[in-house]
Amino acid sequence: MFDTVLVANRGEIAVRVIRTLRSLGVRSVAVFSDADTDARHVREADTAVRLGPAPAAESYLSVERLLEAAASTGAQAVHPGYGFLAENAAFARACADAGLVFIGPPADAISLMGDKIRAKETVAAAGVPVVPGGRDPELASAALELGAPVLLKPSAGGGGKGMRLVRDLSVLDEEIAAARREARASFGDDTLLVERWIDRPRHIEIQVLADGHGNVVHLGERECSLQRRHQKIIEEAPSVLLDEATRAAMGEAAVQAARSCGYRGAGTVEFIVPGGDPSSYYFMEMNTRLQVEHPVTELITGLDLVEWQLRVAAGEPLPFGQEDVRLTGHAVEARICAEDPARGFLPSGGTVVRLHEPQGDGVRTDSGLSEGVEVGSLYDPMLSKVIAYGPDRATALRKLRAALADTVTLGVQTNAGFLRRLLAHPAVVAGELDTGLVEREVEGLVATDVPEEVYEAAAAVRLEALKPRDTEAWTDPFSVPSGWRLGGTPKPVGFHLRVQDPVEYVPRGTATVTDDRVSVLLDGVRHTFHRAADWLGRDGDAWHVRDHDPVAASLSGAAHAGADSLTAPMPGTVTVVKVAVGDEVAAGQSLLVVEAMKMEHVISAPHAGTVAELDVKPGTTVAMDQVLAVITPVEDET
């Protein structure tokens, strides 16, 4: 076993790897960018090395700086986690050239399976069924031959980045261009492939483990059908769809796929499965790394996958065969991401001012968060994962819903409440899943309206702050928040508040306020919230309740009278500017692109008009709601 391992990653996966290294008595080395100086993975490692400025290209994606960090700390091996350079064959080769063990598959296997086109050809030759499709340079003609709908996918990527579902082939060229742009930005390679789209499919993947002595086993499947925008959000093991015969057949296909590329270490073979015919499964891709959802497999097998990555990389053979693998119980995982469901799941950011993450009694949280940490827009939006285990699926789902209700992340909007509601959806409870379910049901799962008790609680906090602290001294009646007026009828105390739209709220219940909680009794029902700064939270949901000054807002609005201001929908970076001051634009015309957490958001003209102001350029970092441009409507130009 190694003495020292460098973890070439950040956030929750770095913390997760460090935990296993510590349990094995292996010294851990963390790396960090300037944005992550105080990050949790930095504090939990035995030592940490600064890589450089915050942009990933100058830190976590810098092969040279990572190798220097390994050399300076005496590391013998590098664990890449997932994302960044985890599936970069050049990095694996660079590690080997530097005398470091890359804790992952051989570089040739990464290269082969990282190219989705070559991967399909290779596994097909090994007898594994694949989805019909085509590739560059005949991409458009292949799509037309397949017929709509088709799925565009980056050849070099994964994680849903750059994937485009095209149901109308008249916009094929535009979708191809957008997919290429995302692929180039995410993976440095804009090569695409196209596949036939299977309506209402299931996404099922098989975990494989291979050593350097010719042994390959599978550890059962994971159901990953609950997705949004091709990104997995809920994963579970095992799948309710598969019977033992199908499980064995898919497992053997995954083993053959791993053998076909000379695989070593932990990897995942992903299949797309028609929900109505689970025996008809097709290879999609192989992920040559540890998966985000690996904890559900760990819980039902009792194996620490990070430990076996380390042992295999150190040259140890697997001490068990396929007949020794047992799947016991059921596990479900929810990905907590920095995004705001009420704003169309746009990326969010901010400082974590209050944090509570559930653990114990069949619940596990893998997290990179801590109070005081700043969640920015430079990296992936996933913050943590909450995983629940039970003897059966119903128990695991119930525990996970309770754990999400107990999750508190104030200061940053997350999807925890949305996931809790999703897990209670009748189709999810019944196991009737497909990759389009979330998109079809999303409107009923997003809490867009602000409950009155939120304003009641926010008003109670503000009333408490106005109360005099010295109760024994004389109190000026004008300073007491009672509405008292000289010679007149008391006026109810009200507050101008804003969560989404501004409101004037007059509290009408009773409340108890402490340093970290506020409880209000409203219409005979008691509601209790976690609180910190201007944030309130309960059951996984959170509200940022700010004070609203209607006079200041009126004056600000007057500055752009007769014009419409376009604001940033999320904190991020402006990557594309297509107009200049004075340009005439049409309604719906694309004007700018803001990118955050690997997600692009197009800013379009709300109406025809003229660009009166343009306050940004490519590379400008913007805050949420920051004014980007002002469009003067056509009818107001005269």
The per-residue pLDDT for 562 is: 46
The tokens for 34 are 């300037």
The per-residue pLDDT for 187 is: 84
The per-residue pLDDT for 480 is: 58
Identify the CATH homologous superfamily for domain 201-445. ATP-grasp fold, B domain (3.30.470.20)
Provide CATH 3.30.470.20 ranges for the chain. Answer: 201-445
| CB of 611 closer than 8 Å to CB of 629 | yes
How many percent of the chain have pLDDT more than 90?
76
Q: Does domain 132-196 correspond to CATH entry 3.30.1490.20?
A: yes
Q: What is the pLDDT of residues 195-230, one digit of tens each?
A: 988 878 999 999 999 999 999 999 999 999 999 988
Nearest residue to 385 (alpha-carbon basis) of 235, 543, 267, 530: 235
Provide CATH 3.30.700.40 ranges for the chain. Answer: 452-468+478-547
pLDDT band at 479 (very low <50, low <70, confident <90, very high): low
Mean pLDDT to the nearest integer, 228-257: 96
**Does the pLDDT of residue 111 top 80, yes or no?**
yes
**Does the pLDDT of residue 637 top 50, yes or no?**
no
Mean pLDDT to the nearest integer, 122-140: 91
Judged by average pLDDT, the poorest of 145-149, 183-187, 521-525 is: 183-187
E-assigned strand segments in 468-516: 495-498, 502-505, 510-513
**Does the pLDDT of residue 333 top 50, yes or no?**
yes
The per-residue pLDDT for 601 is: 83
The per-residue pLDDT for 531 is: 98
Edge to edge, the sheet with strand 495-498 lists: 502-505, 495-498, 546-547
Task: Tell which wins on pLDDT, 611 or 634.
Answer: 611
The per-residue pLDDT for 564 is: 74
| Three-state secondary-structure class, residue 41 | helix
Mean pLDDT to the nearest integer, 309-321: 98
Calpha distance 231→242 (Å, rounded): 22
Judged by average pLDDT, the poorest of 106-115, 153-162, 269-278, 598-607 is: 153-162
Tokens 């080997």 — which residue? 96
pTM of the model: 0.86
Mean pLDDT to the nearest integer, 432-458: 95
The per-residue pLDDT for 351 is: 95
CATH architecture of the domain 452-468+478-547 equals 2-Layer Sandwich (3.30)
**Does the pLDDT of residue 478 top 90, yes or no?**
no
Distances (CA, A) of 198 to 73, 134, 202, 276, 281: 49, 15, 9, 11, 11
Distances (CA, A) of 11 to 53, 89, 368, 379: 17, 22, 4, 10
The per-residue pLDDT for 248 is: 96
pLDDT band at 568 (very low <50, low <70, confident <90, very high): confident
E-assigned strand segments in 97-200: 101-102, 133-135, 150-154, 164-166, 192-196
Mean confidence (pLDDT) of the chain: 92
How buried is residue 542: exposed, middle or buried, by Cβ count under 10 Å (0-12/13-18/19+)? buried
Tokens 């974590």 — which residue? 352
Report the first-to-last Cα separation within the chain, whole angstroms: 77
Task: Tell which wins on pLDDT, 638 or 621.
Answer: 621
Instruction: Please tell me the CATH code under which domain 4-103 is placed.
Output: 3.40.50.20
Exposure string for 249-286, b = 16+ CB within 10 A, e = fewer: ebbebbbbbbebbebbbbbbbbbbbbbeebeebbbbbb
Mean pLDDT to the nearest integer, 491-501: 87
Distances (CA, A) of 586 to 212, 240, 479, 506: 61, 50, 54, 43
**Does the pLDDT of residue 396 top 80, yes or no?**
yes
pLDDT band at 558 (very low <50, low <70, confident <90, very high): very low
**Does the pLDDT of residue 561 top 50, yes or no?**
no
Provide CATH 2.40.50.100 ranges for the chain. Answer: 560-636
Fold of 560-636: OB fold (Dihydrolipoamide Acetyltransferase, E2P) (2.40.50)
Q: What is the pLDDT of residues 36-94, one digit of tens each?
A: 999 999 999 999 999 999 999 999 999 999 999 999 999 999 999 999 999 999 999 99
The per-residue pLDDT for 477 is: 61
